[in-house]
Amino acid sequence: MQYDLLKTPIGQLLIAVDVDGLHHIRFDQADRDAVVEPHWQRGGDLLDPVLAQLRAYFDGKLQHFNLPLAASGTPFRKSVWRALTQIAYGETISYGELARRIGNPAASRAVGAANGANPLPIVVPCHRVIGANDKLVGFGGGLPVKQWLLEHERKQRPLWA
């Protein structure tokens, strides 16, 4: 596994990738740094496309990621994560709507748990899911980061979208 640290407007991100694809994007938190696993190696050319696309996203020049994803999870979680990638840039939906989109409208809480377990935030845009009352709820990077990401996307989104 290759990893690197990327400085962004929302703080430092730890990125981990191997030949299968992107495995982790981890936030530094105020009370703890993102964890680097002991067997990981810093740097490597597998990171280049991931770092380039994340930089372009934060520069407002990229709205759709095109990366191989290799997140580990249950089939249910993977179905939720796939559905997250279908939420349009700059838009938000509720947990209930996400549950409906995966064909399980009674699973809002389970969808919320899967959303919270997403190991690839930003690329798999879990920040685009909000509470039914249009309030920001739950985000691994913290609610101020979620708010920043949503505002960033709304500013960059073309008027005709």
Long-range contacts of 39-42 (CB under 8 A, 24+ apart): 39/1, 40/1, 40/2, 40/3, 40/16, 41/1, 41/2, 41/3, 42/2, 42/3, 42/4
For the chain, the C-alpha Rg in angstroms (whole number) is 15
- How far apart CA 119 and CA 78 sit, in angstroms, is 11
Q: Dump pLDDT digits (tens) for 34-82.
A: 778 889 999 999 999 999 999 999 999 999 999 999 999 999 999 999 9
- Determine the pLDDT at residue 160: 53
Supply the pLDDT for residue 45.
96
Q: Is the CB of residue 138 less than 8 Å from the CB of residue 121?
A: no
As a 3-state breakdown, the chain gives helix, strand, coil percent values, each rounded to 5, of 35, 20, 45
Q: Give CA torsion, residues 44, 84, 151, 122, to 10 deg.
A: -10
* Annotation says 126 is catalytic: yes
Position 136 scores a pLDDT of 84
Distance of CA 76 to the CA centre of its chain: 17
Tens of pLDDT, residue by residue over 111-158, are 999 999 999 999 999 999 998 888 888 787 888 999 999 999 998 766
pLDDT of 16 higher than 90: yes
Question: What pLDDT is recorded for position 158?
Answer: 63
- Would you say domain 75-156 falls under CATH 3.40.250.10? no
pLDDT above 60 for 31: no
Q: Model pTM?
A: 0.90
Give domain limits for the chain. Answer: 2-58, 75-156
Active-site position among 84, 87, 126, 129: 126
| CATH architecture under which domain 2-58 falls | 2-Layer Sandwich (3.30)
